[in-house]
A and B are shown apart, each in its own frame.
Chain A
Amino acid sequence: KNEVEQSPQNLTAQEGEFITINCSYSVGISALHWLQQHPGGGIVSLFMLSSGKKKHGRLIATINIQEKHSSLHITASHPRDSAVYICAVRPQPPPLSVSYTGNQFYFGTGTSLTVIP
């Protein structure tokens, strides 16, 4: 059972296209993260969201808490955007929990994006 589902798994786009990557989750969350993993493996945090929308350059992330859904948009895509994009959620602690540490994250399997010049 995957708490976090991403779509599509793979995406190929022409340079300049508008790109959307989707993330759905099944648990109550305190925050959602969008991460970028380049070839070579290192991961960079792009956004952390708990509500609404955030924008950084050509990247926009939105979240709908009621629908348990988030999207990552890339405007005017560029070959340097080619990477794996990973959605991760930090679940809310269970009610009345005295031992829950809140340190667990659930990760999607990632969306591999290739932008062709």
Chain B
Amino acid sequence: DGGITQSPKYLFRKEGQNVTLSCEQNLNHDAMYWYRQDPGQGLRLIYYSQIVNDFQKGDIAEGYSVSREKKESFPLTVTSAQKNPTAFYLCASRDGYNEKLFFGSGTQLSVL
């Protein structure tokens, strides 16, 4: 079955530590996104990528970094510069043909 796989489901970060959230898709989509979800707020865009080796900052990119070395993979690193990382992180992709959005099951990141 085609879809987006995010891992891990739960992640704990110690102060000063960088952590990486995995996002893999087998849908052959070019466009991929990382969103942050906080209680009571809409999804906010962290980074997006239209194509391999290209990515753009979203509204809240500070303290985060991404790479897009393969079409299937779009990992997100939460760096120690992100002072309030506790949130639910969602990876998504967009079908360039019918514009439908696909989401992963999310990663809950908490600070120890």
Contacts and interface: CB of A to CB of B under 8 A. Distances in A.
Interface of A: 2, 4, 31, 33, 35, 40-45, 48, 86, 88, 90, 101, 103-110
Interface in B90-112: 90, 92, 94, 98-106, 108
B103 A48 contact: no
Contact of A103 (B56, B103, B108): B56
Contact of A45 (B41, B44, B48, B102): B102
B interface SS class: strand
Contacts of B56: 101, 103
Given A42-B104, A42-B106, A2 B42 contact: yes
A103 B40 contact: no
Nearest to A5: B42
B108 A41 contact: yes
Interface residues of B, number: 28
A101 to B, nearest CB: 6
A interface SS class: strand
Interface in B37-73: 37, 40-45, 48, 50, 56, 58
A41 to B, nearest CB: 4
A45 B90 CA distance: 14
A44 B103 contact: yes
Contacts of B43: 86, 88, 105, 107
B99 A90 contact: yes
B29 to A, nearest CB: 12
